[in-house]
């Protein structure tokens, strides 16, 4: 019998039996085939989820509310916790579970750096993942003061190894010291190869940052107070791959733009699956801006953050 998590069985059953969606529509939404949908429905019946009505004991209503409000392909909510490490672990589990479901041969999967994406890569190393003929690449250079465990090249290596996929690495900082340095790096064969692959990415795994928050040690350590003040004055609330935007999802160009080695935010709007993984109350404006800007079309977050996002949007 097909193995699948209870949360997905609930959502598929809700759509089929309550929302009257047909199996082809459900298959298209989740990136699976019609036969798989049929198997999910049978498994849901055997598991007792489908009785007279769909058993909805998780976060389906909250997920659906966010999906409809922001036009997202899917929202995946995990439990909240007073332990930030536990939340990151929950998000990582959800992220690797989602990637295992949607990835196919021929995909090019792009990754950002950070602690949450790092948790996903660590879990990928111990998960049983099917072999996939895919390519995995960085979407941004790596900050110099970042722990190697959370560096984008480390993340790419771990996830690619889990899927027995091909990995590619970017040997460059996220933000260079000068415009001239960036220009020289961009002409390097390694960098130019990765940049070309950015045009072919089909799945992105993205962290969402709040760069002007005091808790963001990566940005405060990399840039200094004068740059943080500049970002705040420009209306920046969030960053994805070291690219900045405001609460309405507008890209904010700063003096750092011409020193940044990363995929452009505009490209993310055309990705088949652009998955944002983030939580915490202080990131609510950043996550909201990412959804408004259509930089992500899938959100993985926790219950507390999801409820705050609903309130923030009203």
The string of pLDDT tens digits covering residues 222-249 is 566 667 778 888 899 999 999 999 999 9
Give yes or no for a contact between 137 and 111, defined as CB atoms under 8 angstroms apart.
yes
pLDDT score of 229: 79
What DSSP state is assigned to residue 175? B
pLDDT score of 230: 83
* pTM, entire model: 0.84
Which ranges of the chain have pLDDT less than 50? 1, 214-215, 217, 220-221
What DSSP state is assigned to residue 18? I
What SS3 state is found at 75?
A: strand
Task: Write the CA distances from 179 to 123, 185, 193, 260, integer angstroms.
Answer: 37, 10, 20, 9
Measured between alpha carbons, how far is 87 from 98 in angstroms, rounded to an integer? 16
What phi and psi values does residue 299 have, to the nearest 5 degrees?
-120, 130
Give yes or no for a contact between 98 and 300, defined as CB atoms under 8 angstroms apart.
yes
pLDDT score of 55: 57
Name the token pair of 95.
């992220």
pLDDT score of 127: 85
Task: Write the CA distances from 82 to 58, 91, 194, 278, 279, integer angstroms.
Answer: 19, 14, 39, 15, 12
**DSSP annotation string for 238-304:** EEETTEEE-TTS-B---TTGGGB-B--HHHHTT-SEEEEE---GGGHHHHHHHHHTTS-SEEEEEHH
3-state helix, strand, coil in the chain (%, to 5): 50, 15, 35
Q: Which of 101, 81, 18 is nearest to 53 (CA)?
A: 18
Q: CA angle 38-41-45, nearest 5°? A: 140
Q: Which of 113, 185, 182, 117 is nearest to 144 (CA)?
A: 113
Task: Write the CA distances from 131 to 108, 120, 152, 161, 281, integer angstroms.
Answer: 14, 17, 21, 9, 37
pLDDT score of 220: 47
Task: Write the CA distances from 306 to 8, 70, 213, integer angstroms.
Answer: 18, 12, 20
CB neighbours (10 Å) of residue 37? 23
Number of H helices, E strands in the chain: 14, 9
pLDDT score of 146: 65
């Amino acid at each position: 019998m097909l193995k699948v998590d209870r949360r997905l069985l609930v959502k598929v059953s809700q759509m089929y039996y309550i929302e009257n969606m047909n199996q082809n529509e459900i298959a298209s939404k989740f990136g699976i085939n019609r036969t798989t949908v049929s198997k999910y429905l049978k498994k849901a019946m055997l598991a007792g989820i489908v009785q007279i009505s769909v058993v909805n004991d998780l976060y389906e209503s909250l997920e659906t509310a966010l999906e409809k409000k922001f036009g997202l392909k899917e929202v995946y909510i995990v439990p909240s916790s007073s332990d930030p490490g536990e939340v990151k672990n929950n998000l990582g589990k959800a992220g690797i579970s989602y990637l295992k479901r949607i990835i196919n041969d021929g995909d090019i999967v792009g990754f950002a750096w950070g602690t949450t994406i790092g948790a996903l890569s660590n879990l990928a190393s111990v998960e049983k993942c099917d072999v996939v003929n895919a390519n995995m690449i960085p979407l941004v250079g790596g900050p110099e003061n970042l722990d190697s465990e959370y560096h984008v090249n480390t993340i790419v290596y771990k996830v690619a190894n889990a899927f027995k996929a091909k990995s590619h690495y970017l040997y460059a900082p996220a933000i260079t010291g000068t415009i001239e340095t960036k220009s020289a790096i961009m002409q390097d064969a390694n960098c130019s190869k990765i940049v070309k692959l950015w045009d072919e990415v089909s799945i992105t795994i993205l962290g969402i940052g709040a760069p002007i928050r005091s808790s963001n040690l990566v940005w405060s350590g990399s840039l200094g107070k004068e740059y943080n003040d500049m970002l705040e004055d420009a209306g920046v609330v969030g960053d994805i791959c070291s690219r900045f935007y405001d609460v309405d999802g507008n890209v904010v160009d700063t003096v750092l733009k011409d020193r940044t080695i990363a995929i452009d935010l505009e490209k993310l709007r055309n990705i088949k699956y652009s998955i944002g993984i983030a939580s915490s109350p202080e990131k609510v404006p950043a996550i909201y801006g990412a959804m408004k800007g259509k930089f992500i079309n899938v959100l993985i977050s926790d219950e507390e953050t999801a409820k705050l996002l609903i309130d923030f949007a009203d």
